[in-house]
């Protein structure tokens, strides 16, 4: 489960540290989160990604907010929205990687206002609605070996931070992502496969934000700085889309085309060898 995807201001980070430590001095300076909570916190399954939840809650003023949650009262995970990008917002739509449908979790809502006031909710619980379970990664069995997994990233349009690097799109892990820093339709990433490879199919599992932004709908593939193939349709973990191709190349540049804007990127980008070659 990914635990390092919090981008948060120093004041809010101090709040999390105080809350997790249980120190009475830290708790004494914290106001009830209900004083700034404008809507009930709601929890739902991410329709694009089985095995991931979404928290939605609004506040009465712009805030740096986070949810700290876990299977026990010790919590252990915290997340917030990349929409903040270091600034306060009032509509908080937060992805919860690893939150399983039908399972109950403990949580606290925490935040920091512009004047430095810290807020924290009581220890509460949420249960995601029953769903279809967690995503499975049987692409190699269906389409051939993914030769892009572990490839070297030689160029990327941008990275939101080190934790959201381009290499995350080629590590075979659905719990990591490449996020650009607001590149929208201009995002791209280039990889070197190490040698010329015959490619029979490509998949682009888009990242997305809980508000619908950062979603890639179509993409191109540029082969060895030459042919620009596509556009192809992007997919997601709930609905991977295999685009059949036939080319041989070593350096592949994946360029997003139509997107919903924002911090576009990918959970995984795959390039499959022909199935017959994989079996041989």
Ranking 17-26, 160-169, 206-215, 238-247 by mean pLDDT, the lowest is 17-26
11: left (phi over 0), alpha (psi -120 to 50) or beta: alpha
Delimit the domains of the chain by residue range. Answer: 10-127, 139-275
Q: Using CA atoms, how far apart are residues 1 and 98, in angstroms rounded to an integer?
A: 6
Q: Using CA atoms, how far apart are residues 194 and 174, in angstroms rounded to an integer?
A: 23
The arithmetic mean of pLDDT across residues 106-117, rounded, is 94
Query: At a CB cut-off of 8 Å and minimum separation 6, what does 143 contact?
Result: 200, 201, 242, 272, 275
Q: Using CA atoms, how far apart are residues 97 and 101, in angstroms rounded to an integer?
A: 11
Query: At a CB cut-off of 8 Å and minimum separation 6, what does 110 contact?
Result: 12, 15, 16, 19, 33, 65, 66, 67, 68, 118, 119, 120, 121
Residue 276: both structure tokens together: 């017959």
What burial letters (b/e) apply to 194-229, b meaning 16+ CB within 10 Å? eeebebbbbbbbbbbbbeebbbbebbbbbbeeeeeb
> At residue 2, does pLDDT exceed 90?
no
Query: At a CB cut-off of 8 Å and minimum separation 6, what does 23 contact?
Result: none
Q: Which CATH number fits domain 139-275: 2.60.120.260, 3.30.9.10, 2.40.110.10, 3.40.50.300?
A: 2.60.120.260
- CATH number of the domain located at residue range(s) 10-127 in this protein: 2.60.40.10
SS3 state at 30: strand
pLDDT tens-digit profile of 35-74?
Answer: 999 999 999 999 888 889 999 999 999 999 999 999 999 9
Q: What angle do CA 131, 49, 215 make, to 5 degrees?
A: 140
- pLDDT bucket at 117, cuts 50 / 70 / 90: very high
pLDDT at res. 8 = 37
* Secondary structure string (H, E, C) spanning 77-140: EEECCCCCCCCCEEEEEEEEECCCCCCEEEEEEEEEECCCCEEECCCEEEECCCCCCCCCCCHH
Share of the chain above pLDDT 90, in %: 70
Share of the chain above pLDDT 70, in %: 82
> At residue 277, does pLDDT exceed 80?
no
Q: Beta strand pairing status for 52-70 and 104-113?
A: antiparallel
Residue 44 near residue 94 (C-beta atoms within 8 A): no
pTM of the model: 0.76
Residue 219 near residue 255 (C-beta atoms within 8 A): yes
Q: Using CA atoms, how far apart are residues 253 and 227, in angstroms rounded to an integer?
A: 10
> At residue 256, does pLDDT exceed 70?
yes
CB atoms within 10 A of CB 141: 10
> For the CA atoms of the chain, what is the radius of gyration?
20
pLDDT at res. 175 = 87
């Amino acid at each position: 489960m990914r635990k390092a995807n919090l981008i948060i201001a120093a004041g809010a980070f101090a709040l999390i540290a105080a809350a997790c430590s249980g120190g009475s001095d830290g708790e004494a300076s914290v106001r009830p989160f209900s004083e700034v909570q404008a809507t009930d916190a709601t929890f739902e399954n991410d329709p694009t990604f089985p095995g991931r939840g979404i928290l939605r809650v609004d506040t009465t003023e712009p805030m740096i907010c986070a949810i700290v949650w876990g299977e026990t009262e010790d919590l252990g995970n915290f997340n917030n929205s990349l929409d903040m990008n270091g600034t306060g917002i009032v509509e908080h739509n937060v992805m919860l990687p690893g939150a399983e449908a039908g399972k109950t979790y403990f949580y606290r809502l925490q935040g920091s206002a512009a004047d430095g006031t810290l807020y924290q909710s009581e220890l509460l619980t949420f249960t995601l609605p029953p769903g279809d379970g967690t995503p499975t990664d049987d692409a190699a069995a269906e389409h051939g070996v993914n030769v892009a997994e572990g490839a070297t990233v030689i160029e990327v349009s941008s990275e939101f931070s080190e934790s959201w690097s381009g290499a995350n799109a080629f590590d075979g892990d659905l719990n990591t992502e490449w996020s650009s820093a607001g590149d929208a339709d201009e995002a791209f990433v280039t990889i070197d496969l190490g040698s010329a490879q015959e490619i029979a199919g490509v998949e682009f599992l888009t990242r997305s934000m809980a508000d619908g932004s950062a979603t890639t709908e179509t993409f191109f593939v540029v082969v060895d700085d030459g042919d620009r193939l596509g556009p192809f349709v992007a997919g997601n973990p709930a609905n991977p889309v295999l685009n059949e191709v036939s080319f041989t190349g070593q350096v592949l540049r994946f360029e997003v085309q139509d997107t919903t804007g924002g911090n576009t990127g990918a959970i995984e980008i795959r390039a499959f060898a022909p199935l017959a070659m994989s079996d041989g």
